Amino acid sequence: MRAITQEKIDHLTEFMEQNSIDVILIADWEIARDVNMRFLSGHPMDATLVLTAGGEVCLVPWDKQLAEDHAQVDVTLDYTQYSNRLVGGAVEYIKEATKKDNPVIGVNNHIPYSFILYIQETMPNATVFSNPKTIADKFSALRSTKSPQ
């Protein structure tokens, strides 16, 4: 069972379609905590997460065992396969999942600027969605309504 209901995934993917966002990137580390990590995946901390417009959730955790114990995602990647960078695994997944040279990447307003620079360096044709507050507001609205689950 997923941490987030299918209804809420559907709301997110509809929002992404309306805003022409191909993926949303969430980072949750010591320097930038983001409650949406647990909301989307069930994973408690220290990971990068990618949500595709098709509703697939990919997790790149710092602690793979912790992820195996708690995360409810479609794909889990081992960050050590990507030069020991959590964002590196996420970027490679974005390239593969979108199959686009110029995907639009949504980021929450908690994401470190160094992530954005890394994305721009490794995917120069990608566009970072210009209004992260819109994404943060959408997550807030979804988290504020509770389901029986």
Q: What is the DSSP letter of 101?
A: S
Q: How far is CA 71 from the centre of its chain?
A: 13
Sheet holding 57-61, edge to edge: 75-76, 57-61, 47-52, 23-28, 104-107, 127-128
Note the pLDDT of residue 66.
93
> For residue 47, what pLDDT band results from cuts at 50, 70 and 90?
very high
pLDDT of residue 6: 84
**Which amino acid does the sequence have at 125?**
N
The domains found in the chain, sorted by start residue, are: 6-137 (3.40.350.10)
pLDDT at residue 138, as a whole number = 93
User: What pLDDT score does 149 carry?
Assistant: 64
Separation of alpha carbons 105 and 5, rounded Å? 23
d(CA 138, CA 140): 5
For residue range 71-130, list pLDDT tens digits in order: 999 999 988 887 767 788 888 899 999 988 899 999 988 788 888 898 899 999 999 998
Identity of residue 86: L
* Angle formed at CA 6 by CA 22 and CA 32, multiple of 5 degrees: 55
Mean pLDDT of 34-53: 90
> Residue 5 and residue 2: Cα distance in Å, rounded?
7
Task: Name, in order, each residue with C-beta under 8 angstroms of 64's C-beta and a sequence gap of 6 or more.
Answer: 76, 78
Closest C-alpha among 50, 55, 57, 74 to residue 17: 55
Helix, strand, coil share (%) of the chain residues, nearest 5: 45, 20, 40
**pLDDT exceeds 80 at position 50:** yes
